[in-house]
Amino acid sequence: MKHIVILSGSPRKNGNTNLLCRQFQQGAEEAGHSVRFIPLAEKRIGFCRACDVCMRNGGACIQKDDMENILCAFQQADVVVLATPVYFYGVSAQMKACIDRTYPIWQHLGRKEVYYIVSAGLGEDIIARSLGDLDGFVEHFEQYEIKGRLYASNVMEAGAVRTLPVMEAAYQAGLHV
């Protein structure tokens, strides 16, 4: 059994990113894995203040918010799913804030299997241009393998992904994680 954490940066509960997350989760749970879905938009996550206190005190952030718990879940996970809509050729602010707040443990991000789930109103070429923040984060892991990239392109409206083959692909990715 693997421990899976899904970090979703979409604020739309029934948006495309979260629908794909649910598909992935369903597949993974059916396969017997433990899955924790974390909707970042519903969490209290302050911005990194670059005070560097965490660099001097062994990795504890001075901000006491939901990030403490999220870092714990992240460190225990074998598999991390990074899910985000594309906003202005990048990840959502919710996802970026979360990535920045991993700074206290950036030298101990561990060994992870990684999946991307990304939704965009425009085409897949736009998604390819928008992944710098995710790639830059994952490249700091001590060891990683990007095992899947699930892209919902040309989906502007929430829920538009429902009719696309990537829904089944997300379920299958979870099932065979």
Ligand X SMILES: Cc1cc2nc3c(=O)[nH]c(=O)nc-3n(C[C@H](O)[C@H](O)[C@H](O)COP(=O)(O)O)c2cc1C
Residues that bind ligand X (CB under 6 A): 10, 12, 15-18, 85-89, 119-122, 126, 155-156, 158
> Which is nearer to ligand X, 122 or 146 (by Cβ)?
122
> Which is nearer to ligand X, 91 or 138 (by Cβ)?
91
**Residue 79 to residue 169: CA distance in whole angstroms:** 17
Nearest Cα neighbor of 14 from 158, 118, 150, 155 is 158
Q: C-beta of 61: minimal distance to ligand X in Å? A: 27
Q: C-beta of 84: minimal distance to ligand X in Å? A: 8
> Which is nearer to ligand X, 53 or 93 (by Cβ)?
93
Which pair of structure tokens corresponds to residue 40? 């970042």
Query: Is residue 1 within a helix (H) or strand (E), and if so which, with residue range?
Result: none
Q: C-beta of 2: minimal distance to ligand X in Å? A: 25
**Residue 39 to residue 31: CA distance in whole angstroms:** 22
